[in-house]
Amino acid sequence: MSPTQSKKRIAVIAGDGIGQEVIPQALKVIRATGADLEITEFDWGADRYLRDGMTVPPDGFAMLARDFDAILAGAFGDPRVKTNIHAKEILLGMRFRMDLYANVRPVRLLDASLCPLKGIEPKDVDFVVIRENTEGVYTDAGGVFKPGTPDEIAIQEDINTRKGVERIIRYAFDYCEQHKKLDGSPRRRVLMCDKSNAMTHAGGLWQRVFKEVSAEFPQIETQHMYVDALCMQMVRDPRSFDVIVTNNMFGDIITDLAAGLQGGLGMAASGNIHPGQTSMFEPVHGSAPPIAGKNLANPFGAILTSAMMLAHLGLTKEAENIEAAVLQAVRQKKTTQDIGGSLGTREAADNIVSLVK
């Protein structure tokens, strides 16, 4: 992306299930901001795969990296594709092949009514989880020996490279240094979450690297928690969290838990980022087959994701405009049913469009 080029080129892959419902709504909203965007939509997903067997065209990832400034993706997963092969090739393909190593998942409570915990206010939940996005158990390394027999052995390997661990931990410290909380106060602390008491080899690497990298940021406090203790703390009192860095699997799990603090999966946004390269933005939720096609899905996760993408592209005013509109809609209960309103997906997004305009 050239800093002088004003029109931002966005690739859009709505994908499957509710992805096909929430992404068009997010597009309506970003268009309403008046941002100078060139939007190109791709039909990669289960329907396309079932039609002609294509998941990603041969040049697909290189084309995304070359021709676009950012990617907005929906969700991938469809009960008709039992192997989920298309989801793996498209979503994990973007993360791995484009080396989008930092999965950034902000956790913000917009209104006290959305949090299932007693006495928790919006100011109490404003943290971010930085999840390693290219390694861990998601590389699918391992194998099965003597499948289908009583002697079957399944091995799932957890890949942790020095390079991968170091760059994600450094990303978390840089993020802490460069990003403020919603109320304008600085971020102060990076917490590393692992299970180094049981997973000693990988945990040992994470522990050593965390210590080394933290020495470069003496002004930032450090903290460590085992993932089990962190889960308990998250539902007991989430106030102390600021920036959390963790591996691929723990990041996946704790961000669903964290989404519960902010109103559920329908409210959570994320970015898959490689600084300086084309990055991909997607709501935290999946394709949610049980509610797909019913105009029930909450579009706010996708809309907040699109705001995150605009902010990443330097369109800060447009991003803030969208976030303010979502906040207002939540306060006015002009929302979908999952967070207490009575609107459908399209109607909830239409209201955001009018607030943004």
CB of 287 to ligand ATP, least distance (A): 5
For the bound state, the minimum distance from the C-beta of residue 18 to ligand ATP, rounded and expressed in Å, comes to 6
Minimum gap (Å) between residue 241 Cβ and ligand ATP: 22
**Catalytic one of 99, 195, 334, 338:** 195
Q: Three-state secondary structure along 121-146?
A: CHHHCEEEEEEECCCEHHHCCEEEEC
Residues near ligand ATP, by CB under 6 A? 18, 75, 77, 265-266, 285-288, 290-291, 297-298, 301, 338
Q: Dihedral, CA atoms, 207, 213, 218, 222, nearest 10 degrees?
A: -30
Question: Which residue of the set 47, 99, 158, 256 is catalytic?
Answer: 256
Among candidate residues 28, 49, 69, 138, the one labeled active-site is 138
Phi, psi of 10 (to 5 degrees): -115, 125
Is residue 117 classed as helix, strand or coil in its secondary structure?
Answer: coil
Residue closer to ligand ATP, measured from CB, 279 or 336: 336
Write down the least CB distance from residue 285 to ligand ATP, Å. Answer: 3
For the question of residue 228 being annotated catalytic, the response is yes
Nearer to ligand ATP, 238 or 264 (CB): 264
Q: Is 181 a catalytic residue?
A: no
Could you tell me the smallest distance in angstroms from the CB atom of residue 84 to ligand ATP?
9
CA dihedral angle for residue 47, residue 104, residue 96, residue 69, rounded to 10 degrees: 70
Tokens of 76: 């991938």
Q: Which of residues 21 and 194 has its CB atom nearest to ligand ATP in the complex?
A: 21
Angle between helices 300-312 and 19-32 in degrees, nearest 10: 50
> Is 288 exposed, middle or buried, given 0-12, 13-18 or 19+ CB atoms closer than 10 A?
buried
Residue with smaller CB distance to ligand ATP, 71 or 343: 343
Q: What per-residue string of b and e applies to 171-181 under the rule 16 or more CB within 10 Å gives b?
A: bbbbbbeeeee
Yes or no: say if 30 and 322 are a contact pair by the CB < 8 Å rule.
Answer: yes
For the question of residue 52 being annotated catalytic, the response is no
**Minimum distance of ligand ATP from residue 284's CB (angstroms):** 7
The DSSP output letter for 70 is E
Which CB atom, from 214 or from 262, has the smaller least distance to ligand ATP? 262
Q: Note whether 71 and 1 are within 8 A (CB).
A: no
Is residue 138 flagged as an active site residue? yes
Rounded CA-CA distance 284/263 in Å is 13
Q: And the tokens for 52?
A: 């002609």
Q: Is-catalytic flag, 126?
A: no
**Are the CB atoms for 189 and 242 separated by under 8 Å?**
yes
Nearest residue (CB) to ligand ATP, 88 versus 224:
88
Tell me which of 36, 43, 140, 228 is the catalytic residue: 228
Active site residues: 138, 195, 228, 252, 256
